[in-house]
Amino acid sequence: MSTLFVKTGCPFCAKVITTFDAQGISFEEKNIADENNAAELMVLGGKRQVPFLVDGDVLMYESDDIVSYIEEKYGATTTDVETKIPPMNTGGTCSV
């Protein structure tokens, strides 16, 4: 199962969460407001930046990259979920 590190209020995290949810894909969500999750994020990724995906050996920042990875792995397309994802001009991350 994938793990997604997030921060409350981060629109880039919301974009990735919406993609997972729209496709019915289960994932573990870890909010870095919890210091244990924040410390784990630093060990795994080296930056206090979200969203951050852990899927087996795949470690990835950047919301657009994560959405593309989900699409490739699970066969979802942006067209399938675009009406459910909040509009954004670009991908990105939220720094903490």
In DSSP terms, which residues pair with 60 in a beta bridge?
A: 53
Quote the CA–CA distance of 82 and 77 in Å, as a whole number: 8
> Six-digit token pair at 84?
């459910």
At CB < 8 A and 24+ separation, what contacts does 68-76 make? 70/16, 70/19, 70/20, 70/23, 70/25, 71/19, 74/23, 74/25, 76/19, 76/22, 76/23, 76/25
Q: For the segment 74-94, what is each residue's pLDDT rounded down to a tens digit?
A: 886 555 555 455 555 556 677
Residue-range domains of the chain with CATH: 2-95 (3.40.30.10)
pLDDT at residue 83, rounded to an integer? 46
pLDDT at residue 75, rounded to an integer? 82
Q: For the segment 6-30, what is each residue's pLDDT rounded down to a tens digit?
A: 999 999 999 999 999 998 999 999 9
